[in-house]
Structure 1
Amino acid sequence: MTGLLPEGFHDRLPPAADAAARLEGRVLGVARLYGYEQVDPPLAEFADELGSRLKAGGLRDAVRFVDPVSQRTLAIRPDLTAQVGRIAATRMGHHPRPVRLSYAGAVMKLSASELNPQRAMRQIGCELVGLDTVAAATEVVRVAIEALQAAGVTGLAVDFTLPDLVDRLVGDTLDTETLALLRERLDAKDAGGVAAIDPRYLPLIEAAGPFDAAMARLRAIDAGKALGSRLDGLAEIAASIEGQAALTLDPTERHGFEFQSWLGFSIFSTGIRGEIGRGGSYTIVHDGGREEPAVGFSLFADPILDTGVGTDARRRLFLPLGIPPEVGARLRGEGWVTVAALEVDDTPEAQLCSHVWQDGKARAL
């Protein structure tokens, strides 16, 4: 069979490929207006360097191969965030902080998951490096929502989480192994398992749902005010996008947020299965071990595009053979997509045109 692709790979044809370009352009356009400048890291780099920055899972998801030039192992990126962190820590380490960076590009996974059969995907995002304050996180969340709205994505919902919540509440009252088990059982909403460790943490399972109600329950649990500043900051972030997205809170959710620090969030859209974006606060490790705070988000283009978002109806103007070039130039300047006949028997239907230039006017077909 000719044209067969490996499992998990696909071609994106017209007009879907045009829609992908528009999606990236609109997202990055909003980011640019907020001061986020685009970087474009290479598809592959040395595996050991990339692996040191891929915190969640390391190189487990990366396709690796031996470089015939250097004879060293290279890895194709399974995630772009780690590369942006490398650029911020090395090539742009001298840049005044915070530094705002945006990106868009392909990523590739070694194997697909049960929920997502794709191995080659598009990722778009922004990273604010040097701060992970409430103000920085508020900006990042607002950019993500405004960018999706500009791209035509509707029915948005944001689910917040506090990845270090359990650690702050527990303090040093549990050993490392028991703490890890408690996190796992809270994440799985295993009430029986949580009760077997310490029933005082059972209310955390119930402190999830619509944002305001969940926040009230969480504040009631925080009798010792160990989470006071965290909860106040989260409330401020949520208030900044109130009315633009449905807001929920799942304070003990850790799946996919293993490397986040105090804040994490997932973005969803009505009619799209699974999350379309994820973000939060984290740290970037510099040479020598110094850690630098950062906050950012990544959007997953493929599930958005699969719904047809951004796939506008073709508006193509057919120019019959013999139309002067200056006419086509003028029409393109007016915003038309022109398709010129190159043979006598060419037709607008064959060129998938919606209009034809006839008697000095664009006529709809």
Structure 2
Amino acid sequence: MRNWILPEYISDVLPMESRQLETLRRSLLDLYARYGYEQVEPPLVEYVESLFTQDDSALDLKTFKLVDELSGRQMGLRADITPQVARIDAHILNRKGVARLCYAGSVVTTRPDGLMSNRQPRQIGAEIYGCASIGADIEAIELMFASLALTGVTDFCLEIGHIGLFNAMADVAHWPNDARQAAFNALQQKDVPALEALTADLSPELRQGILALPLCYGGSDVLVRARQALPAIDAVTAALDALHELEAALLNRGMSVRFDLAESPGSYYHTGLVFNAYANGFASAVARGGRYDRVGEKFGRSRPATGFSLDLRALTSLPFPTHQAAILAPQSDDMALIEVIRTLRNAGEIVIVDLGVDVTEVHINRSLQLINGQWQVVPLQ
């Protein structure tokens, strides 16, 4: 067996990509800090019960499990960081007011999200807990826009939906759990024939509303068509009102909006507004977000929440930035040389001591040479 072969959809991060990943991570966390977000770092592994906010079969399937040899209990490698942050907000910080939290770290999944995906994404995101108003959703989307711009993604499309539309009609339909899950899966895939079969026994008004969801995508006229096609249920009306209010606020900020009322939330814990960003050259969404109220209920404290996340590794398909050129220094115990090297490094220069460097393998364009008794930086010959 060749010991250097990695599992499928698992890959090493080599120097150029690693440099870009770390640069993006630092820049994004600094951006979030300027908005007032505080960084948390949940553990990579914990008891499996804490890794799900509810009975989330999809997240359960994506989670690697193992047995803790100290306690004998089942543990899991996190496949999503949001449930962990919800636990921190609900059970550890326990703040009365709004909490703005951000995170950055690896997650591991049992299966990839797509053919071009990796099973060890570098997830980074920002979340707001304790605010139920549309202002929190606006801030999350604004920060998501700023995040993508910082990573170099500027030409993207924002699609907004509302999972509450389906949930409201599914509640009225009184479907058993398996039928409801099947209908939700069909909606995500825009499988209209499957939805037609699943809604055959519903009232004409309710059936029309569910079948209309996969067809409700496009510009502002989507909300007009949805009000005409969907049943007059209080929760449906409230969801459409929220979408209209969000659209007006985003347009006022110069952000273009499209709607897809069958938009997949990406995770089953979402409860309301969902938004995904799509960009040319990427097979799937480059950023995902939405509202997940009551996400901390399992941890003893139900709070409204909204936020977004993105996978830094997916964004490294962009051209890598040029690496800063280094200075080559000879190996020596000369204290004057050692002080010059320290001074250069403190000033932000990369100084590589020559322990057998091949200048064709690293980016070096200058060297330190002793000239007239002084160590000087000169162009590399």
Instruction: Check if 1:268 corresponds to 2:267.
Output: no
Q: Which residue of 2 aligns with 1:151?
A: 151
CA separation of 1:191/1:3 partners in 2, compared to 1, >3 Å: closer, same or farther? closer
Q: Which residue of 2 aligns with 1:297?
A: 308
Query: How many residue pairs get matched?
Result: 358
The alignment's TM-score, normalised by the length of structure 2, stands at 0.82
Q: Which residue of 1 aligns with 2:351?
A: 338
Q: Which residue of 1 aligns with 2:127?
A: 127
CA separation of 1:203/1:156 partners in 2, compared to 1, >3 Å: closer, same or farther? same
Choose the corresponding residue for 1:233, options 219, 232, 242.
242
Choose the corresponding residue for 1:279, options 285, 289, 295.
289
Q: CA shift at 1:291, angstroms?
A: 2.4
Q: Given that residues 64 and 76 in structure 2 are in contact (C-alpha distance below 8 angstroms), is that contact kept between their aligned partners in structure 1? A: yes
Q: Which residue of 2 aligns with 1:204?
A: 213
Q: Given that residues 31 and 102 in structure 1 are in contact (C-alpha distance below 8 angstroms), is that contact kept between their aligned partners in structure 2? A: yes
CA separation of 1:347/1:206 partners in 2, compared to 1, >3 Å: closer, same or farther? closer
Instruction: Check if 1:109 corresponds to 2:119.
Output: no
Q: Given that residues 130 and 304 in structure 2 are in contact (C-alpha distance below 8 angstroms), is that contact kept between their aligned partners in structure 1? A: yes
Percent identity, please. Answer: 26
* Structure 2 residue matching 1:291: 3-state secondary structure: coil
1 CA distance for matches of 2:378 and 2:85?
46
1 CA distance for matches of 2:365 and 2:86?
46
Q: Given that residues 164 and 261 in structure 1 are in contact (C-alpha distance below 8 angstroms), is that contact kept between their aligned partners in structure 2? A: yes
Q: Given that residues 91 and 301 in structure 2 are in contact (C-alpha distance below 8 angstroms), is that contact kept between their aligned partners in structure 1? A: no
* Structure 1 residue matching 2:27: 3-state secondary structure: helix
Choose the corresponding residue for 1:214, options 219, 222, 237.
222
* Pairing 1:47-126 to 2, within 5 Å after superposition: 47-51=48-52, 53=54, 55=56, 57-93=58-94, 95-116=95-116, 118-126=118-126
1 CA distance for matches of 2:3 and 2:212?
58
Q: CA shift at 1:223, angstroms?
A: 8.2
1 CA distance for matches of 2:359 and 2:304?
56
Instruction: Check if 1:251 corresponds to 2:252.
Output: no
Q: CA shift at 1:33, angstroms?
A: 0.8
1 CA distance for matches of 2:77 and 2:69?
15
Q: CA shift at 1:160, angstroms?
A: 0.8
Q: Which residue of 2 aligns with 1:319?
A: 328
Q: Given that residues 277 and 299 in structure 1 are in contact (C-alpha distance below 8 angstroms), is that contact kept between their aligned partners in structure 2? A: yes
Q: Which residue of 2 aligns with 1:137?
A: 137
1 CA distance for matches of 2:24 and 2:10?
20
* Structure 1 residue matching 2:49: 3-state secondary structure: helix
The alignment's TM-score, normalised by the length of structure 1, stands at 0.85
Deviates most, 32-41 or 269-278: 269-278
CA separation of 1:163/1:287 partners in 2, compared to 1, >3 Å: closer, same or farther? closer
CA separation of 1:254/1:137 partners in 2, compared to 1, >3 Å: closer, same or farther? same
Q: CA shift at 1:289, angstroms?
A: 5.5
CA separation of 1:193/1:284 partners in 2, compared to 1, >3 Å: closer, same or farther? closer
**RMSD, aligned α-carbons:** 3.0
2 CA distance for matches of 1:183 and 1:53?
17
* Structure 2 residue matching 1:279: 3-state secondary structure: strand
2 CA distance for matches of 1:39 and 1:328?
36
CA separation of 1:350/1:261 partners in 2, compared to 1, >3 Å: closer, same or farther? closer
Q: CA shift at 1:24, angstroms?
A: 1.1
- Higher helix fraction (1 or 2): 2
Unaligned runs of 5+ in 1: none
Q: CA shift at 1:230, angstroms?
A: 3.1
Q: Which residue of 2 aligns with 1:18?
A: 19
Letter in 1 for 2:351: T
Q: CA shift at 1:318, angstroms?
A: 1.9
Q: Given that residues 129 and 304 in structure 2 are in contact (C-alpha distance below 8 angstroms), is that contact kept between their aligned partners in structure 1? A: yes
